[in-house]
Amino acid sequence: MPEIKKTAPEHYETLYYHKSWTKLFFRFLFDKEISLFNRILRKERGKVALTDVSKPDAEMSV
């Protein structure tokens, strides 16, 4: 990972990461802002209207 970060620091230096898996696990258990559906924390969670209309791949033309 350090070598990858050196190749593109503008992309990797600003990313949030966890140093302790134990701390992350307990935060997941007890923090009401985090759920199974989170990939990142969002301050506007639950306030943004979902307007994206997804179509299964079978319906997409190639």
Q: Is residue 23 part of a domain?
A: yes
Q: Is residue 52 part of a domain?
A: no
Q: Is residue 53 part of a domain?
A: no
Instruction: In whole angstroms, give the CA distance from residue 24 to residue 41.
Output: 13
| CA distance to 2, 53, 56, 58, per residue, from 61 (Å) | 41, 16, 11, 8
Instruction: In whole angstroms, give the CA distance from residue 52 to residue 60.
Output: 15
Q: Is residue 26 part of a domain?
A: yes
Q: Is residue 20 part of a domain?
A: yes
Q: Is residue 55 part of a domain?
A: no
Instruction: In whole angstroms, give the CA distance from residue 1 to residue 15.
Output: 13
Helices (H), the chain: 2-7, 9-12, 21-30
Counting the structural domains of the chain, the total is: 1
Give residue 25's domain range: 11-35
pLDDT in tens, 5-61: 888 888 888 777 778 989 988 988 998 878 777 766 666 666 666 676 666 665 655
Q: Is residue 22 part of a domain?
A: yes
Query: Is pTM, for the whole model, over 0.85?
Result: no
